[in-house]
Amino acid sequence: MLGAATKRSAAGEGEPAKADQPTGATPTEPATKATRGAKTIEVRDVDLYYGDFHAVEGVTMTIAPNKVTALIGSSGCGKTTFLRSLNRMHELTPRARVDGHVSLDGEDIYGKGVDPVEVRRLIGMVFQQPNPFPTMSIYDNVAAGLNLNSSRVPKSRKDEVVERALRGAHLWEEVKDRLGKPGSSLSGGQQQRLCIARATAVEPEVLLMDEPCSALDPLATLAIEDLISELKNRYTIVIVTHNMQQAARASDVTAFFNLDATGKPGHLVEVGATDRMFTNPTEKQTEDYVSGRFG
Amino acid sequence: MPEIARSEYLEELATLEASALGGLDLVDIALARTMEAVENQDVELAQVVIADDDRIDGRYLEVHQSLITLLATQSPVATDLRLISALLHVLKSIERMGDQCVNVCKVIPLTGNYAPVDPRMIELIVKMGGHTKTLIMQAKRAFEERDVEMARDLVRRDDAVDALNRECFHLALEIGDDTDRREWAMTMLLAARAIERVGDNAVDIGEQVAFVVTGLFREFEDASHPS
């Protein structure tokens, strides 16, 4: 699907992540209602750079399908950078570089001949600020990905996909009578659900979310969290959040990133089942962070 | 990483812990008075213990409410969360210990102001009280010092209390056929049983020490499946 997987060398010289065994990071309850192509992301010895700046060091973890994995840590610890490396958005920044392996169900997403655009279709992203295309209608916002990925989608098929995506994002009932109105006419919470509908319309296998609720009010936040817990039945979800209660509420697995000092690379300190991470973490750094002792 | 102390919250949590564990000092006083009342058939002192139980109940309500407020406003997690959960249990145990002292004091007037039918029974109960006082103070110290070994040792000490309680039972069996004597013995058995429960409550507090430290809750001894 991604083209020939080519092994890349792990050039990073950083320490391996001091984390649970990846298998231990995956809660043991059976995946519920896993009906479609949610996939496992394997991350091995990933180092991320912006030019000479070593931003993230030696991350190794397994991101389980049909689970919500939350990435937490203080500002500058590299969690967003790491998230962006999972669908090859990191490399869009000039002089940004990735070392190590990231694979989607065994296929190297950085392999030779792999099309980064196809990677980003399979691994969608929802951003901090809801960013619907402001001049496009609600309908066209959702259909935008389809138009980009394939020029000849029949109207009837497009209607079907738009409705399904909007229903999946719990937005259909609110917008079905005004699909021609601009996306920017919606409230912040609706816009974010519109962006989720846009991301899911192209049928990805993974959804990456970068602080998807930080610009939303508490009610809209809870609506998105409910949606996330429903979406995990169909997708692998990775969410970056500064809101620890959100990580505690909305995720199954939590990964804590930290950095030893400003200017040093961020690294994965500990990853594990969310209930354990918030009641009895193994590492003192994790304990201090989740308890609000620093950060 | 910049240290953010959350100093007010942490100070309040520490104060609430001290206040909750201070409830054990109140129980200690109540138990000492209870034993004195048993030993001397002192009905007035027993009434003082009963009236004073309001202080223990008041401590329970006050600290309990403050802990609930901390849960609602500070979103404690990890060790802080375990500590608050443990303190809620400890408070309940303390409140029960106070009630057991009241239970003993309530039966003292029933035995009247006469000399005890069998002084050996009184001796055994007072001895139980002495052991239980040690248990209470050891539970408090184990919690303050987060000492799991000291907490586990409470089981051993509690065994001595249980053994004395069984001795009371055997004495009661041998008390004879006289109705008044049997009634007295049964009343004193209720008192012994109440003191025995105070010891069990001290062990419960020890189990909470282990939970705070390890994050795992396990009964030190399973009463329904004894080893």
Residues B86-145 have pLDDT tens digits of: 999 999 999 999 999 999 999 988 776 667 789 999 999 999 999 999 999 999 999 999
The residue whose two tokens read 């799991």 is B148
Which chain B residues are Cβ-neighbours of A245 within 8 angstroms? 75
Residues A117-159 have pLDDT tens digits of: 999 999 999 998 889 998 899 999 999 988 776 667 888 999 9
Asked if residue A83 lies in contact with residue A255, where contact means CB atoms within 8 angstroms, the answer is no
Q: How many helices (H) and strands (E) does chain A have?
A: 10, 10
DSSP bridge pairs for A49: A54, A97
A22: confidence class by pLDDT, cuts 50, 70, 90: very low
| Pick from A245, A281, A295: CB nearest B78 | A281
Q: What is the 3-state secondary structure (H, E, C) of B9-53?
A: HHHHHHHHHHHHHHHHHHHHHHHHHHHHHHHHCCHHHHHHHHHHH
Angle, CA of B34, B36 and B38, to the nearest 5°: 70
Residues B153-184 have pLDDT tens digits of: 999 999 999 999 999 999 999 998 899 889 99
Which chain B residues are Cβ-neighbours of A278 within 8 angstroms? 77-78, 81
Between CA A71 and CA A208 the distance in angstroms is 11
| Pick from B1, B76, B78: CB nearest A280 | B78
pLDDT for position A249: 92
B1/A279 Cβ within 8 A:
no
ipTM: 0.72
A28: confidence class by pLDDT, cuts 50, 70, 90: very low
A8: confidence class by pLDDT, cuts 50, 70, 90: very low
**How many residue pairs from chains A and B have C-beta atoms closer than 8 A?**
45
Task: Check CB contact of B120 with chain A, cutoff 8 Å.
Answer: no
Between CA A164 and CA A155 the distance in angstroms is 14
| Pick from B2, B5, B77: CB nearest A278 | B77
pLDDT for position A26: 42
B82/A293 Cβ within 8 A:
no
Which chain B residues are Cβ-neighbours of A287 within 8 angstroms? 78-79
Among A279, A284, A287, A289, the strongest candidate for a mutation testing the B interface, having the largest count of B CBs within 10 A, is: A279
Closest C-alpha among A233, A210, A260, A180 to residue A68: A233
Between CA B161 and CA B132 the distance in angstroms is 7
CA neighbours closer than 13 Å in the CB half-sphere of residue A133: 14
Task: Check CB contact of B226 with chain A, cutoff 8 Å.
Answer: no
Minimal C-alpha gap between B226 and chain A (Å): 29
| Pick from A259, A280, A294: CB nearest B4 | A294
B79/A291 Cβ within 8 A:
yes
pLDDT for position A2: 67
Among B77, B80, B213, the strongest candidate for a mutation testing the A interface, having the largest count of A CBs within 10 A, is: B77
Average pLDDT, chain B: 93
A23: confidence class by pLDDT, cuts 50, 70, 90: very low
B75/A244 Cβ within 8 A:
yes
- Taking only residues 73 to 102 of chain B, the set having a beta carbon closer than 8 angstroms to any beta carbon of chain A reads 75-82
A279/B78 Cβ within 8 A:
yes
Closest C-alpha among A291, A293, A286 to residue A77: A286
What end-to-end distance do the CA atoms of chain B give, in Å? 49
Among B1, B6, B82, B212, the strongest candidate for a mutation testing the A interface, having the largest count of A CBs within 10 A, is: B1
Closest C-alpha among A102, A84, A67 to residue A253: A67
Minimal C-alpha gap between A290 and chain B (Å): 7
Look at residue A36 and tell me whether its pLDDT is greater than 60: no
A47: confidence class by pLDDT, cuts 50, 70, 90: very high
Asked if residue A101 lies in contact with residue A43, where contact means CB atoms within 8 angstroms, the answer is yes
Q: Residues B139-166, buried b or exposed e (16+ Cβ, 10 A)?
A: bbebbeeebbebbbbbbebbebbeebbe
Between CA A203 and CA A290 the distance in angstroms is 34
Which chain A residues are Cβ-neighbours of B4 within 8 angstroms? 292-295
**CATH superfamily entry for domain B7-214:** Phosphate transport system protein phou homolog 2; domain 2 (1.20.58.220)
- Ordered by start, the domain boundaries in chain B are 7-214
Domains of chain A: 22-129+204-290 (3.40.50.300)
Look at residue A24 and tell me whether its pLDDT is greater than 90: no
Between the alpha carbon of residue A87 and those of residues A60, A102, A118, A252, B184, the distances in Å are: 16, 9, 9, 21, 81
Between CA A124 and CA A224 the distance in angstroms is 16
B4/A292 Cβ within 8 A:
yes
Look at residue A27 and tell me whether its pLDDT is greater than 70: no
Closest C-alpha among A130, A124, A126, A278 to residue A217: A130
